[in-house]
């Protein structure tokens, strides 16, 4: 059939639509366009640096209808690939991007394997075209994510990973950096979050000769900044009920209304935050196979490198985290850090943070001694400012919290003397150091600084260097025995009371109710009077089975105290020594299945052991509580006084207060801006010359004039009724 005035060869969009609907009817037009593409491609190969719009349109048209003619279009993707491989660096940017989009379309229709396409795209990352590199990066991440959506193809992932790892070694800086960015993005999206990816970034990325690649790898291991600045509202527990009650009785003002709205928002935010499941962030540093070798190699590279100071700081940060997380031995690290510990050193608080992070219980005291001496000599001296002294004491506290043996007895007692310093920041830092050693190694402190002896301090065991405690019992579980003693004493007493004889000679089997608690048993006065009847009994009235109970009861009643309380007190006075407590706790752990209530009682008993008649701001539930993995910079920079705000800080505070606030100036609170105002509101905006006569008349009125005016007002009101 011959079509007259056929416009389809020139209108590819319409032809594309018709072919998708009925491929067989338009096979002739398709072959005609395919021949035109072959001719245009030969012409384009003669001058590949020029953009050919006709080739662009024909290639996209053929890619759109390729699924309609599978046999004919089998070789079409390879032709596009050959163009990009042969002329990738000389192609026009628009032409190169158009051919890549054409290949992506063919990939979605399974005309080309994912490995072949991704291999080509990784080679194209070397091109000097920023838009193309960003486009290819997004596609590679999306394609790999989609391939692992339903199930992970381990064979394909392994092949792609090996190829990407080879790209990290590429001499082209941009290609290597983009390959690393793709790996990191896939790790954060939990697609390639295995040991292999982390260790390749550690072995290749962190030791790359390209600075950008090395810095990106170090940032990957540092992870996101955990130390976010929270608002003051989120730090304090806000009870909206108190604010609502106060606002109910106080005067209603716009300022107070805004405060109530703000409190409601904060309370709602806090409630939503509490309902969220806790999130645990495991750093990539945990997945390194050989942390000791990695830390040594990284430290050696940092010592020999001529990179900027900021890059060296990042290396020191990664090394310190490795040492702290894996308890590594890197003895050369501490003298290097000690040389940088000077008050005038740039970023000195971060360096102090690195020193604290690199401390753990297995570091020999003589190795970390240079760091402690540098801090004590350079920071904690009265020739420095109080802020510098406070920062130094805070750094010492953070180091000693992770390595208690890092400081000697003499140096500790010298630093503790600042507990009565005139400046509050230094005084509070010194007292925090005292509090730390009260709960860990009180024998290093002077006797007057140890505080009152408590049950917890008597049970405290001083660890030696390298000592590891492995317990086969739960500390404090001996408190559960007390509950059993109370029940047994109560049972014996009830049996004895049931066996007693009344004065008329009749037997009484009634039971006596005894109020009991976890710590003592209270008996009412009426029941205490009944106990004197037992005292008047003869010994022969006691059965042989209850002889011991009767003797205990008689001994208790002789001092006119409740029976169960006296028995329990007698047992408490005969305190168990340390070995007996451990043996009791071990026996209970072997024979008892602990419930939630039991664990609560154990925890409460452990807390009570730290109380010695005075209030403590912090109570340790267990003296073996381990410190956090990372040191917060705010713990070292924590200075107990108001910092002086410079102009920029004050301006930032002012601008923050203006957020979500109405326009400056007077607000008349009209719901409709077009409605009229009252005369009183209008008077506020009038010129003073317009209202001065009225104001003047009110001021100069005599008392008699006021009386007359008030009388006329009352008469007018009476008539209106």
Q: How many other CB atoms are found less than 10 A from the CB of residue 285? A: 21
Backbone angles phi, psi at 502, to 5 degrees: -80, 175
Q: DSSP letters of 100-139?
A: HHHHHHHHHTTSS-HHHHHHHHHHHTTSS-HHHHHHHHHH
Q: What pLDDT, on a 0 to 100 scale, did the predictor assign at position 523?
A: 36
Contact call for residues 92 and 50 (beta carbons, < 8 A): yes
Cβ-contact 311, 215 below 8 angstroms: yes
Residue 585 tokens read as 């706790």
Phi-psi region of 515 (alpha: psi -120 to 50; beta: other; left: phi over 0): beta
Calculate the dihedral angle through the C-alpha atoms of 423, 428, 431, 437, rounding to the nearest 10 degrees.
Answer: -140
Q: Of 44, 54, 110, 108, which is closest to residue 82 (Cα–Cα)? A: 44
Which pLDDT does position 236 carry in this prediction?
A: 47
The full DSSP string for 584-649 is: HHHHHHHH----HHHHHHHHHHHHHTT-SSS--S---S-TTPPPPSS--HHHHS--SSPPPP-HHH
d(CA 414, CA 351): 24
Task: State how far the Cα of 508 lies from the Cα of 499, in Å rounded to an integer.
Answer: 7
Query: Residue 269 burial (CB < 10 Å; 0-12/13-18/19+)?
Result: middle
- Look up tokens 């540093």; give the residue: 285
For the chain, which residues make up each domain, given as ranges?
Answer: 8-172+179-192, 290-452, 479-575, 679-720
Which residues contact residue 309 at a Cβ distance below 8 angstroms, ignoring those fewer than 6 apart? 346, 347
Distance CA 194, CA 147 (A): 17
> What is the DSSP secondary structure assignment for residue 75, as one 8-state letter?
S
CA–CA gap between residue 708 and residue 501 (Å, rounded):
95
Whole-number pLDDT of residue 495: 59
The pair of three-digit structure tokens given for residue 430, joined into one six-digit string: 């010194």
Tell me which residue of 379, 333, 338, 378 sits closest to 360, measured CA to CA: 333
How many whole angstroms separate alpha carbon 205 and alpha carbon 176? 9
Residues 227 and 211 sit within 8 Å (Cβ to Cβ):
no
Give the CA dihedral 695, 700, 706, 710, nearest 10 degrees: -10
Distances (CA, A) of 306 to 311, 330, 338, 445, 447: 10, 22, 20, 45, 51
Instruction: Give the tokens for residue 350.
Output: 């971060």
Write phi, then psi, for 501 (nearest 5 degrees): -105, 145
CA distance linking residue 431 with residue 393, whole number of Å: 10
CA-closest candidate to residue 205, choices 195, 215, 191, 193 = 215
Task: Find out whether 77 and 63 touch, Cβ atoms under 8 Å.
Answer: no
Q: Please give the average pLDDT of every successive group of 10 residues along the chain, which has 721 residues.
A: 53 85 88 90 88 90 89 89 88 91 90 87 86 90 86 83 86 89 90 89 91 93 58 50 71 80 81 61 81 94 91 94 92 93 92 93 91 93 91 93 89 90 90 87 83 66 72 72 61 56 43 40 39 39 42 43 45 56 75 77 72 43 49 79 70 78 59 75 83 70 85 87 71
pLDDT for residue 103: 92
CA distance 409 to 413: 6
Please classify residue 245 by burial: count the beta carbons closer than 10 Å to its beta carbon, then call 0-12 exposed, 13-18 middle and 19+ buried: exposed
Both tokens of 538, joined, read 């003869």
Phi-psi map region of 51: left, alpha, beta (phi>0 left; psi -120 to 50 alpha): beta
Contact 140, 182 (CB under 8 A): yes
- Pairwise CA distance, residues 257 & 669, whole Å: 13
Tokens encoding 383: 């020739």
User: DSSP readout, 142-185?
Assistant: HHHHHHTSSS--HHHHHHHHHHHHHHHT-S-HHHHHHHHHHHHH
**CA–CA gap between residue 371 and residue 406 (Å, rounded):** 9
Beta strands in 444-562 (DSSP E): 515-516, 521-522
Q: Beta-carbon neighbour count of residue 357 at 10 Å?
A: 24
Report pLDDT for 555: 45
Rounded to whole angstroms, the Cα distance separating 505 from 500 reads: 10
Task: List the one residue out of 204, 210, 209 whose CA is nearest residue 162.
Answer: 204
Burial 12-50 (b: 16+ CB within 10 A, else e): beebbebbeeeeeebeebbeebbeebeebbeebeeebee
Question: Global pTM?
Answer: 0.65
């Amino acid at each position: 059939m011959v079509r007259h005035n056929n416009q389809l060869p020139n209108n590819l969009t319409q032809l594309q639509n018709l072919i998708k609907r009925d491929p067989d009817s338009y096979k002739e037009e398709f072959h005609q366009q395919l021949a035109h593409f072959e001719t245009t491609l030969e012409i384009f190969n003669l001058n590949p640096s020029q953009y050919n719009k006709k080739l662009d349109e024909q290639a996209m048209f053929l890619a759109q209808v390729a699924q309609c003619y599978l046999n004919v279009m089998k070789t079409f993707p390879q032709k596009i690939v050959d163009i990009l491989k042969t002329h990738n660096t000389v192609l026009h940017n628009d032409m190169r991007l158009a051919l890549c989009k054409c290949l992506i379309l063919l990939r979605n229709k399974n005309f080309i394997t994912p490995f072949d396409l991704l291999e080509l795209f990784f080679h194209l990352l070397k091109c000097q075209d920023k838009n193309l590199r960003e486009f290819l990066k997004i596609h590679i991440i999306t394609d790999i994510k989609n391939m692992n959506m339903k199930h992970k193809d381990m064979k394909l992932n392994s092949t792609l990973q090996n190829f990407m790892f080879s790209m990290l070694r590429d001499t082209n800086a941009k290609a290597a950096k983009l390959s690393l960015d793709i790996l990191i993005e896939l790790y954060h999206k939990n697609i390639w979050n295995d040991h292999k990816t982390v260790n390749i970034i550690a072995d290749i990325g962190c030791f790359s000769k390209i600075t950008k690649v090395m810095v990106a790898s170090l940032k990957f291991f540092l992870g996101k900044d955990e130390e976010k600045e929270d608002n003051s509202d989120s730090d304090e527990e806000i009870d909206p009920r108190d604010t609502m009650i106060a606002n109910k009785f106080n005067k209603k003002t716009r300022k107070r209304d805004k405060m109530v709205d703000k409190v409601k928002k904060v309370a709602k935010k806090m409630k939503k935050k509490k309902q969220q499941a806790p999130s645990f962030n495991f750093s990539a540093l945990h997945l390194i196979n050989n942390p000791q070798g990695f830390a040594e190699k990284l430290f050696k590279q940092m010592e020999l490198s001529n990179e900027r100071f900021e890059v060296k700081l990042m290396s020191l940060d990664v090394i310190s985290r490795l040492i702290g997380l894996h308890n590594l031995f890197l003895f050369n690290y501490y003298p290097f850090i000690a040389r940088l510990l000077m008050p005038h050193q740039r970023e000195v608080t971060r360096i102090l943070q690195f020193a604290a992070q690199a401390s753990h219980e297995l570091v020999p005291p003589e190795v970390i001694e240079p760091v402690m001496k540098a801090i004590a000599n350079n920071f904690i001296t009265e020739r420095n400012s109080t802020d510098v002294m406070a920062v130094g004491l805070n750094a010492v506290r953070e180091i000693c919290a992770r390595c208690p043996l890092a400081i000697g007895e003499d140096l500790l007692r010298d630093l503790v003397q600042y507990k009565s310093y005139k400046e509050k920041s230094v005084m509070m830092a010194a007292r925090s150091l005292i509090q730390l050693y009260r709960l860990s190694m009180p024998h290093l402190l002077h006797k007057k600084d140890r505080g009152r002896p408590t049950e917890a301090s008597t049970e405290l065991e001083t660890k030696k260097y390298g000592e590891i405690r492995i317990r086969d019992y739960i500390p404090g579980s001996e408190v559960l025995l007390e509950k059993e003693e109370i029940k047994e004493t109560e049972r014996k007493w009830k049996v004895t009371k049931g066996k007693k004889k009344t004065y008329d000679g009749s037997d009484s089997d009634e039971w006596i109710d005894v109020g009991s608690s976890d710590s003592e048993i209270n008996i009412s006065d009426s029941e205490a009077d009944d106990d004197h009847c037992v005292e008047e009994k003869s010994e022969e009235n006691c059965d042989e089975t209850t002889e011991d109970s009767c003797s205990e009861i008689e001994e208790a009643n002789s001092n006119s105290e409740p029976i169960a309380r006296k028995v329990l007190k007698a047992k408490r006075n005969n305190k168990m020594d340390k070995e007996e407590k451990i043996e009791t706790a071990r026996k209970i752990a072997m024979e008892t299945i602990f419930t939630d209530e039991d664990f609560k009682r154990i925890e409460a008993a452990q807390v009570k052991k730290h109380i010695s008649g005075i209030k403590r701001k912090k109570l340790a539930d267990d003296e073996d509580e381990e410190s956090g993995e990372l040191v917060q910079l705010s713990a070292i920079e924590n200075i107990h006084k108001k910092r002086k705000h410079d102009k920029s800080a004050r301006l930032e505070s002012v601008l923050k207060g203006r957020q979500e606030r109405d326009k400056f100036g007077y607000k008349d609170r009209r719901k409709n801006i077009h409605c009229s105002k009252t005369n009183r509101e209008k008077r506020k905006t009038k010129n003073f010359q317009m209202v001065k006569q009225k104001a003047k008349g009110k001021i100069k009125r005599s008392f008699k004039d006021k009386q007359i005016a008030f009388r006329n007002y009352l008469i007018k009101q009476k008539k209106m009724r």
